[in-house]
Structure 1
């Protein structure tokens, strides 16, 4: 597994983080007019938040509207049209269940002709069938969880599910789940000990690794890398695996089809080696920050052809990725040529994310690597709170150490101010490399847990 330039520049050490002058409520809750956290008791846990769906004033207005004139509007109202069809109504046409109806428990996810845990009998001709909530190809291999949006399409018009047959399916099948002995051995490695130390502090653990170069090196190298990660991820305290960084941004891949094949192969192999774990990737979508500036969108599309929104979206959900992390590096100064400052770029990205509803397809995280050095307390607080408040991300990942090209290291230092962001703790994650500890991994992770709810452990 490669040590990417990004990891060399910012391979994590002990966290020292965000300076915020105001407490978390000022950075997040008090600025939110719909916050009702003031109604919670003083002993309410910091991670519990309260937001009005309708403020008391709005609720009164709604009640008065429907209650006016002896509830006249309420009496005239009709049910909102839904997606259900009354099959008994004249003119309705409803497909009949196969074979006159499904057999077995109506709540079972398995087809009627499959025993629990087994494989159903698929129709001939290579037609796809379902296995336990996953769509399977003609060879019966699970391809990924279903969503209601249909399988994304590749540039050739071929569905992502079909594209997983060929090389991706073969590579996924080449990986076998780790044995008990391999899992036990992984627990004794530095990475395994870091996982145990992180979990002991109450941190939610993700493994942060890179499989792109292993995949390009061939099936043997790829299978070995996945097995190493799978043995470490098999531990119950590991919530997920981020298997690629700078996906489509660096020079590892030159074609969208190649990226698609890698994501499909990696997700299939990891779901086999570490079943039940969430899978994520890190990348950036430059066009999002352009807003309505057409010249900006044209230039970013030309400069970053693998990072077009529709291509990144194809990896989400049925594409194999459960979590998408978007880097904030380009937002700081990357758009000045078009008169777009960092604040506007961040706002534009938030609008695009909400409009495309990517949070329905996958969990979206924002990643900050620039919260070091001479950064104002207000700027730091804004970078953490704003993506969450704007609905652009469900969590924010913060690098705990940055190394420049000359080998110098900058650290985040405002611990006391960061502690005031306690209401956001579960939504904040530290990116930390146990191979370069500040003190020792156990002590570093204990300090990280004072302000973060999650940690991404860099693994080789």
Structure 2
């Protein structure tokens, strides 16, 4: 009884503290569930505290499970299908790591390895042990033959991968690696797909060669999906996303795939008139249609643009701040983060902006537990050809706690100074980089 009650009390205490330093819904000092008073005066404004269970509520939880000699706790049972009783007759449980027999699926050694962990090679097969390649005569090259092994590896490198490394984007990947920036390839395959199989195949091959490098995390293969005039029907959008996803999974296995778009209806909040109008204006961008490729596993990351939020909802008296908040509340409510990584695409921070704009636009999506990262454009060219650049470097550098969640969208073909210098500066405020490439 005493041990059981102690566990119940521990569970209750954990529930009481889960909200500490966790972004949540406590935006007002009048919120009865706010625990902002527990945080220091120097806590950044975008970090809030919200009780999931107040101390007195946690006590009630503990008393419930511990009452009547812990009857509730003893009567509770696991959810069917989630647990296996390894001690029950007939149950089969996996062996701990290293507990399997040599060469079986639970063994840490390679299949067919000897007692010393050295793999046995079939006749004529090239093997590698501790980084030294096996020669065609069956001998394993040692340290004295490193030069020969290196020249062989270089001569057999895919020419397309080698050529891609020499392009502006390829050189930018090298520079990004030196600055410890996570890299995404940012490209557009929609026009190539519409141009026909030959053009699309060549584009996929080119992007696949660029993304083959281990420094590359993923590929964003289209922008403004369903918003611009490229596609006219749902069937076209579905066919393109399916074809691009399948082709890139083969050309760049293991890389994450992303798309960029906007879902205008989300910013309407509970305004039904607004939602109906947005569905009428943007028939390809209904939430359920954007969700479809996420459910199908075609896309690993969804970037949602915030540009429409600033002034696009004045008709319904929804200001930019409300539209921004509405969008991310809707995203969180739909649990899209379970299906894919969600990113906010922020184009409105170029030019002159205030500290408050920087803090709110970059922290709100993360604070609302709706987006896992924010993509920031470093330059935006308007319809007249004028270029506005990111200038708020000092403000950005103050957001150190979320730096890894901030990504810069950068075009290596149009550097401000040069790629190396630019990426050095970007790495001071961002943890990731989206490299635009054609």
Deviation at 1:351, TM superposition (A): 1.8
| Counterpart among 48, 54, 58 of residue 58 in structure 1 | 54
Task: Identify the residue that residue 332 of structure 2 maps to in structure 1.
Answer: 354
Matching residue of 1:285: 263
> For residues 183-211 of structure 1, what are the alpha-carbon distances to aligned partners after superposition, in whole Å with 9 as ceiling and x for unaligned?
11111111111011011100000000000
Instruction: Work out which of the residue numbers 365, 389, 395 in structure 1 matches 2:343.
Output: 365
Q: Secondary structure at the match of 2:333?
A: helix
Deviation digits for residues 127-164 of structure 1, max 9, x if unmatched? xxxxxxxxxxxxxxxxxxxxxxxxxxxxxxxxxxxxxx
1:453 to 423, 431, 436: 431
Partner in structure 2 of residue 79 of structure 1: 76
3-state DSSP of counterpart to 2:54: helix
CA distance in 2, matches of 1:216, 1:366: 27
Structure 1 spans left out of the alignment, 5+ residues: 1-24, 88-103, 109-177
The two structures, once aligned, show a CA RMSD in angstroms of 3.4
Shift of 1:372: 2.0
Partner Cα separation in structure 2 for residue 37 and residue 231 of structure 1: 51
Q: CA deviation at 1:374?
A: 3.3
The 1-side partners of 2:371 and 2:173 are apart by 25
C-alpha change, 1:231 and 1:85, in structure 2 (3 Å) is closer
- Residue in structure 1 matched with residue 275 of structure 2 by the alignment: 297
Structure 1 window deviating more from structure 2 (69-78 vs 210-219): it is 69-78
Residue segments in structure 2 that go unaligned for 5+ positions in a row: 1-20, 29-33, 85-102, 108-155
Which of 408-417 and 426-435 deviates more? 408-417
What aligned pairs does 1:398-413 form with structure 2 within 5 A after superposition?
398-413=376-391
Match among 219, 240, 248 for residue 197 of structure 2: 219
State the TM-score, normalizing by the size of structure 1: 0.68
- Are the aligned partners of 2:186 and 2:434 in contact in 1 as well (CA < 8 Å)? yes
Bigger relative contact order, structure 1 or 2 (CA pairs below 8 A, ≥6 apart): 1
Q: How far 1:107 sits from its partner (Å)?
A: 7.5
- Residue 183 (structure 2) aligns with: 205
What secondary structure is seen at the aligned counterpart in 1 of 2:247?
helix
Q: How many residues align?
A: 343
Mapping 1:250-261, distance limit 5 Å: 250-261=228-239
Q: Which one of the candidate residues 287, 299, 311 is aligned to 1:309?
A: 287
Residue of structure 1 equivalent to 2:363? 385
Structure-1 separation of matches of 2:38 and 2:240: 44
Q: Secondary structure at the match of 1:445?
A: helix
Shift, 1:352, TM fit: 1.2
Q: Is the contact made by 1:36 and 1:50 (CA closer than 8 Å) also made in structure 2?
A: no
CA distance in 2, matches of 1:50, 1:307: 32
Are the aligned partners of 1:234 and 1:274 in contact in 2 as well (CA < 8 Å)? yes
Whichever of the two has the greater Rg, that structure is 2
Question: Which residue in 2 is equivalent to 1:435?
Answer: 413
Deviation of residue 61 (structure 1)?
A: 4.4
**TM-score normalised to structure 2 length:** 0.71
- Distance change in 2, residues 1:294/1:38 (3 Å): closer
CA 1:253–1:85: 2 relative to 1, 3 Å = closer
| 1:66–1:72 Cα contact (<8 Å) kept | no
State how far apart, in whole Å, the 1-side matches of 2:384 and 2:415 are.
Answer: 20
For residue 76 of structure 2, give the secondary structure of its aligned residue in structure 1: coil
Aligned to 1:21: none
Task: Supply the distance in 1 between the matched residues of 2:234 and 2:173 (Cα, whole angstroms).
Answer: 34
Partners of 2:242 and 2:65 in 1: how far apart?
Answer: 60
Question: 1:424 maps to which residue?
Answer: 402
d(CA) in 1 for partners of 2:234, 2:205 = 26
Contact 2:268 2:275 in 1 (8 A): yes
CA contact (8 A) 1:37 1:50 kept: no
Distance 1:260-1:191 versus aligned 2 partners, 3 A rule: same
- Cα deviation digits, residues 58-79 of structure 1 (max 9, x gap): 3564245524897338423432
- For 2:396 and 2:226, locate their aligned partners in 1 and report how far apart those are by CA, in whole Å: 33
2:218 is matched with 240
**Residue 233 of structure 1 contacts residue 240 of structure 1 at CA under 8 Å; is this kept in 2?**
yes
Does structure 1 conserve the Cα–Cα contact (< 8 Å) formed by 2:328 and 2:365? yes
User: 2: distance between equivalents of 1:411 and 1:236?
Assistant: 30
Q: Matches of 2:82 and 2:402 in 1, distance apart?
A: 43
Q: 1:302 to 1:54 in 2, by over 3 A?
A: closer
In structure 2, how many angstroms separate the alpha carbons of the residues matched to 1:86 and 1:447?
50
1:272 and 1:35 mapped to 2: Cα distance? 49
The answer to whether the aligner puts 1:415 opposite 2:411 as a matched pair is: no
Spell out, residue by residue over 1:419-440, the C-alpha distance to the aligned partner (whole angstroms, 9 max, x if none). Answer: 1100000000000000110100
